[in-house]
Amino acid sequence: MSLTPSNMMPLGTKAPDFALPDAVSGRTLSLADVRGERATVVMFICNHCPYVKHVNAELVRLANDYRDRGVGFVAISANDADEYPDDAPDKMKQVAAEQGYPFPYLYDETQSVAKAYDAACTPDFYVFDADLKCAYRGQLDDSRPGNDEPVTGADLRAALDAILDGEIVPEDMQTPSQGCNIKWKAA
């Protein structure tokens, strides 16, 4: 495990499109399928990362709190499942059921979507406005495993509230996420 920060996609970047299999339903879903009317949250997560395990319950609360307000949520795992079998699609389906994920959990086997988003770590969060332009990228909150800060989702919630209120999320409010590096396939 290597503590890795987000790369911080430039604000205003159009959300890269994708079509990936959902580990839960088996259906291939695109950005259009998961897009919210008012905002869309794209999360890069995985099963085995202690940083993701630390925030899983809050990810579920967040999606449940905001999806009825026009916010779409999707989680994507891009880890090399050959080297990290706990992150394989069958295990993704199991974790999604155990956690009660109210959002699709997609598998990026080629890692092309993670590269298009310039994702670096798990968890890595991107919020796009109604026009699918990047309005926030950064951390969920200040909590990390072992730092005794409560998991509240405060940063991501503040960003979503601003977007839903028609406001711009201030640059100084956008702190990089931190977590395990994405497990890239050997070149």
Confidence of residue 142 (pLDDT cuts 50, 70, 90): confident
The pLDDT confidence band at residue 173, using thresholds 50, 70 and 90, is confident
Architecture category of domain 3-181 in CATH: 3-Layer(aba) Sandwich (3.40)
pLDDT at 138: 92
DSSP state at residue 133: B
pLDDT digits (tens, 9 = 90+) for 40-89: 999 999 999 999 999 999 999 999 999 999 999 999 999 999 999 999 99
Going from N- to C-terminal start, the domains of the chain cover 3-181
